[in-house]
Chain A
Amino acid sequence: MVALIKEDKISVGGVETDNHLILAAGVLGTTGASLRRMLDLGAGAAVTKSIGPFPKEGHKGPCVYVMEGAVMNAMGLPNPSSDFVNELECLGGKPVIASIFGANPDEFSEVASWFEGKVRGFELNVSCPHAQGYGAQIGSDPDMVRECTRAVAKTGVPTWVKLTPNVTDITEIGIAAEEGGASAVVAINTVKALRISTGLRRPLLGNGTGGLSGPAVFPIALRCVWELYEALSIPVVGCGGVSSADNVIEMIMAGASAVEIGSAVLDGVDIFEKISSELYSDEGEKIGDILGCAH
């Protein structure tokens, strides 16, 4: 297998990380303690639960359904809003990226202001597929993406934009983010999906539809990274179904400068250490030598 050589200093889209593997938003990110646990267990950086302008309880359950090789969720953006700032206290100077959402540029700007000086970067959630008025509803409109990105990027803090695959042309949205001043794009958020309990004759998630993640979406994520790498000049962070070191290398060859890992945590909280132990080798290659090499 192709391996990477461990570099002393890793910088992705303006964010310094300890390695190329980042805990994805929404996974074990509700408390500072759980984020710290994942960083201690080998994540090179961690993205928080998405934080919005008002506290939200999220959707009624079932919120998560685990399948063979895939997960479906409709959490509904539960978050404690500004109260979350206190959760960061126990994280010291560790590499944390705040995932934020809002319904318009002003709300994005307000939420971002709470975290300035406390995180290494922002990740704009314009891609959650199951929250009315937020997420993908904004992320499928290039003008809104450009303006929301601009509102946060003007803080000067590295600003990543997490994109939805649930659009006809993801590069159009990626370009809008770049125009708005994004320092990187993250691809992808979950793929809108549905399952039904035949026994109970109703959708398996309380919200009805949800977002699909896990190994099943890896080929979709890889295709999106590939397209964005060709269309943009800013870095692309791969996200979606990554569950092995080989998946990471594949993402890098498609054009990802780092990857985010989420659903694979279901296989164990030690997933970052497991993947790192295979991904890095003293005989490995520099990421720059294989980045986008498959194009």
Chain B
Amino acid sequence: MKEIPSFPVKITKIIEETPGIKTFEFDRDFEFLPGQFCMVWIPGVDEIPMGLSSKNSITVQKIGEATSALFNLKAGDLIGIKAPLGNGFSLKEGRTLAIAGGVGAAPLRPLALLGIADAFLLGARTKEDLVYAEELSELTDLHIATDDGTFGHHGFVTDLLSEVDPLSFDTICVCGPEIMMAGILRILESLGIAEKGQFSLVRYMKCGVGICGSCCLDDDGLRVCRDGPVFTGDKLLKSSEFAKYSRDASGRRIYGGSGGH
């Protein structure tokens, strides 16, 4: 049993990515694989899981009490970070495609920063909700979709799969709302390449280290925090839970939305 330290880090810079999404940079670098996450401790509030958006940053959407508290912090404030946790994307030789919906771009961004993502499909509701668009356009072959058509393709990010040839990629890394990921998985399945898809899941996590069981998935009891958060498409096809329900803090099933804070 090895210590999993919570490192106190100082917030050095806060970048407003969109009206509801901010990137918090801190003064410590973490060695990690793209897709691994951290537990972010906001003192006096809560500890929540967040994908690492770079070696020293998290990118956060304001959706609940803990993220709202995080949004109230300023440069110089201290938070605690346990990282890296979980298993990141398992990258194979060859070409890699990243597909992100909304703030789901956060754990995929390191793929672009490391030069691993050959192409990047980025979706958001509107133009102003797009995250990292400028940066990603310099680093990868970027394709954009917005639900309202204010930028790029008018429609869903799933539509963009017709702009690239999914069969030409060896690894397809996906993160976003579960309903969107289910749409991607259906397409990959129809092409017979479900196992090439690697999906980063969000579930309510209390411990983040694989012991409490709050994030376990049906039907196999796999822990999102320790056995994931990245799962291959063929595994998710066997899950009766994926894109159908998740669990809240008490463990009760919630239908029609993914968990999280």
> A: which residues have CB within 8 A of B?
26-31, 33-38, 49, 55-58, 60-71, 73, 75, 78-81, 83-84, 90, 197, 199-200, 202, 204, 206, 214-215, 243, 262-267, 269
Contacts and interface: CB of A to CB of B under 8 A. Distances in A.
B1 interface: yes
B212 A26 contact: yes
A200 B1 contact: no
B211 A29 contact: no
Closest 3 A-B residue pairs measured CB to CB? A199-B8, A61-B47, A37-B221
B78 A200 contact: yes
B6 A49 contact: no
A145 to B, nearest CB: 26
Contact of A30 (B39, B208, B251): B251
B92 interface: no
Contact of A79 (B80, B217, B251): B251
A71 to B, nearest CB: 7
B216 A28 contact: yes
Given A30-B212, A67-B3, A199-B8, A56 B47 contact: no
Interface in B187-216: 206-214, 216
Nearest to B206: A63
A78 B1 contact: no
Nearest to B226: A269
Interface residues of B, number: 41
Interface string B213-252: 1101111111100000000000000000000000111111
Nearest to A37: B221
B209 A28 contact: no
16 contacts: A27-B211, A30-B212, A30-B251, A31-B216, A33-B216, A57-B249, A62-B6, A63-B206, A64-B211, A66-B1, A66-B3, A78-B206, A78-B249, A80-B247, A200-B43, A202-B43
B248 A57 contact: yes
A9 B223 CA distance: 32
B37 interface: no
A69 B2 CA distance: 7
Given A36-B221, A67-B3, A200-B8, A78 B78 contact: no
B237 to A, nearest CB: 16
A31 B247 contact: yes
Contact of A202 (B44, B214, B217): B44
B206 A83 contact: no
A14 to B, nearest CB: 26
A214 B251 contact: no
B14 to A, nearest CB: 19
Given A33-B219, A78-B251, A214-B1, A62 B41 contact: yes
A30 B247 CA distance: 10
B221 A28 contact: yes
Nearest to B216: A34
B10 to A, nearest CB: 10
A83 B249 contact: no
Contacts of B211: 27-28, 64, 71, 73, 262-263, 265-266
A90 B8 contact: no
Contacts of B216: 28, 30-31, 33-34, 37
B73 interface: no
Contacts of A35: 221
Nearest to A48: B213
B247 A197 contact: no
A34 B248 CA distance: 16
Nearest to A262: B211
Contacts of B39: 61-62
A267 B208 contact: no
Given A30-B216, A267-B1, 14 more contacts: A30-B214, A30-B247, A33-B218, A33-B221, A61-B48, A62-B39, A64-B207, A79-B251, A80-B251, A197-B6, A199-B7, A266-B1, A266-B211, A269-B210
A79 B249 CA distance: 8
A83 B248 CA distance: 12
A31 B249 contact: no
B1 A28 contact: no
Interface in B89-133: none
B46 interface: yes
Contacts of A34: 213, 216, 221, 223
B250 A78 contact: yes
Interface in B28-54: 39, 41, 43-48
B46 to A, nearest CB: 4
A31 B1 contact: no
A261 to B, nearest CB: 12
